Amino acid sequence: MEQNKDQEKEQGKSFNVDQDSKNRQLESFREDVKDQYMTTDQGLRINHTDDSLKIGSRGPTIMEDFHFREKMTHLDHESIPERVVHARGSGAHGYFQPYDDSMKEYTKAQFLTDPNTRTPVFVRFSTVVGSRGSADTVRDVRGFATKFYTSEGNYDLVGNNMPVFFIQDGIKFPDLVHSIKPEADNEMPQASAAHDTFWDFASLMPEVNHMIMWVLSDRAIPRSFRMMDGFGVHTFRFINEAGKSRFVKFHWRSSLGAHSLVWDEAQKLAGKDPDWLRRDLWDAIDMGDYPEFELSVQIVEEEDEFKFDFDLLDATKIIPEELVPLRPIGKMVLNRNPDNFFAETEQVAFHPGNLVPGIDVTNDPLLQGRLFSYLDTQLNRFNSSNFTEVPINRPVTPVHNHHGAGFMKQTINKGKANYWPNSIGGGCPMMAPENQGAFVHYMEKVDGHKIRARSESFNDHYSQATMFWNSMTAVEKKHIVDAAHFELGKVESEEIRKRMLGHFSKISSELANRVAEAIGVDVPANFEQESTGNYEKDAVSGKMKQGKSVKESPSVSMERNKIESVKSRKVAVLIEDGFDCNELTQVKQALENAGAHVKIISKFLGMRKASNGTEVKVDKNHVTTGSIMYDAIYIPDGEKSIEALMKEGDALHFVNEAFKHCKTIATSGHGIKLLEKSGVVGVSYADKTSGTIKDDKGVITAGNDADAEEFAEMFMTAIKKHRHWDREEKTMVPA
């Protein structure tokens, strides 16, 4: 025994020595970067890391910028195997068809100009920040990437559900992503910008201000992938058959309109159903509610490039629709779910450099960075350049080249010649002339010094953020303020909160004061924050000083552009035994005829018996669902059913929560008593025998002798409004 103990002691000593040795070994790899100069991986000191190397301050990024390439390559290869950003996604197949041939004047891209052509598409919607295992409903930008399988090759429109971006130059992308991802020391929080490192970065980079306003708005918590708009973000070029170039911005508009969740709803859904948006898209297509998006463009003549007071090449700016209206050119319909998530949704590879004749890039420095980054990140994910041979990525047109080897190679290239020029293979594959569909880059004159800088025309970081705030309704402004309360309330550093209030004060004093009230910091007086960008004065800025501008753009407001529809809306029906079957049948039929989906909710699954003996099947029970999963609630009359519901805490909570989230609620007769007990205001049980139908801020009540058809019609009219924000202040409802 004693010998064993001695052995154990010696083993313990040995273990401790090994651990100490390992710790010392690890310690030699640890680095404290305080008071150190930034260097490349080769130890070369860097004096500027905010602008890529360009030919002139508005020129293209050049490949010799080894610092940019090293920095971007590290980001693209940091995550294995999931995407560094946009890891959590959901995809769908469909088609795009132009309305007419009116775009022939502007572009030779055949898929945009031939109304008889239906181009197959695959769309991937995604969150940006979170990992594959994060929740769908977090506050975040949503990716909206479309792959067009055109007759001229694949074209990728890689966009987001917001028309601007955080940064102006691609070289800042690694810094942005590092700051917004979980913090480096503890890998928290997941899928959230509400922490110190992101807001530290934001407070030191004024160019993020416009995008911050969009992220704090309801656009960041969409109700559905089907109910959000998409944007190409960058300014691209259209080129027609004559070789004339024009600037173009791409917009996707949902046929159902852009609608949002409320923040309380988004947080609860993250726990109740973290796959909420993905499931909604899948179910809608499965049921035949095919999502539709209209593609529109904003076209600017080359000679009008500098007629605005902002730079078209600045991805932190929009072209207000009041200055350049949208031109609808076609519609996309998503009508088929993937057969295999990994083979299609996960393996699909997008790249902004996947272009077709008639569409080209511009010198937007963020776009220039993405042209490198997207290809590089696909090489990391697939560990091969042959990812284009994966079925979901293959074009519908034949592929002929000499890329004949490498991991994942599937095509069997015949013959001896794998080089060009050659005579052994008859000179094939040969070069195509431009009139046979060859892609030819737009011949743009570029002249300037090699310089790590941006044009001074990019140095306005507040005016469009102010425009966005001015364009919001009172409800939307409240939601932005509430979002800022949450986000900055999570920031521990008072100095960071103070800097952000300084930026807000330059956007709007009202915004700054309303945010300051909740985060324990006073708005700083005479705030000035120097940009880290290196801005060079040039002639472009002078041309833009007298350019066109707007102080307000109603088109950026969701509330001012609502599309009212019942189609595909989800309605929960709360019942127990003893419900009024005749009323339920009439209302349910009216809702379904209008395209809504009705689900019967009860305490338990199985069958529920109506007062006349008819039975209906329960779709969901209280444990597995909640009001957060529905757009409206209907409670049929029936004294016994209502008495039972009034004794069920889950049913009362269902109603309370729906009321708090400003959703439409409808009931009749004895159901009014349930609303009274739930704390829903503006209703009176005394109305139960009245023949009148009332709408009090989206609460529809009717007496038990009211007309069911009229009741259903008023119910649907209220559902079309999506939310009834005028009762949002009823915060005392316990939900």
Instruction: Just list the catalytic residues.
Output: 86, 160
Helix 173-180 / helix 196-204 crossing angle, nearest 10 deg? 150
- Strands (E) in 482-585, as ranges, are 535-536, 570-574
b/e map of 2-27 (b: 16 or more CB within 10 Å)?
Answer: eeeeeeeeeeeeeeeeeeeeeeeeee
Residue 332 makes CB contacts below 8 A (sequence gap 6+) with 94, 95, 96, 121, 123, 146, 252, 292, 293, 294, 295
CA–CA separation, 689 and 706 (whole Å): 8
CA–CA separation, 113 and 240 (whole Å): 11
- Contact between residue 392 and residue 348 where contact means Cβ atoms under 8 Å apart: yes
CA–CA separation, 512 and 509 (whole Å): 5
Distance of CA 188 to the CA centre of its chain: 21
Cα→Cα distances 35→172, 198, 538, Å: 22, 22, 35
CA–CA separation, 85 and 75 (whole Å): 10
CA–CA separation, 354 and 622 (whole Å): 48
User: Position of tokens 């080769």?
Assistant: 42
- Contact between residue 217 and residue 483 where contact means Cβ atoms under 8 Å apart: yes
Residue 151 makes CB contacts below 8 A (sequence gap 6+) with 110, 111, 117, 119, 396, 397
Question: CB burial class (10 A; 0-12, 13-18, 19+) of residue 424?
Answer: exposed
Cα→Cα distances 649→262, 466, 580, 653, 735, Å: 23, 45, 22, 6, 11
* Neighbouring C-beta atoms of residue 644, cutoff 10 Å: 19
| Residue of 407, 414, 369 lying closest to 390 (CA atoms) | 407
CA–CA separation, 11 and 4 (whole Å): 10
Q: SS3 for 637-685, per residue?
A: CCHHHHHHHCCCHHHHHHHHHHHHCCCEEEEECCHHHHHHHHCCCCCCH
Q: What are phi and psi of 599, to 5 degrees?
A: -120, 130
Cα→Cα distances 348→110, 118, 146, 393, 394, Å: 23, 21, 10, 6, 10
Q: What are phi and psi of 88, to 5 degrees?
A: -100, 110
User: Position of tokens 């041309």?
Assistant: 543
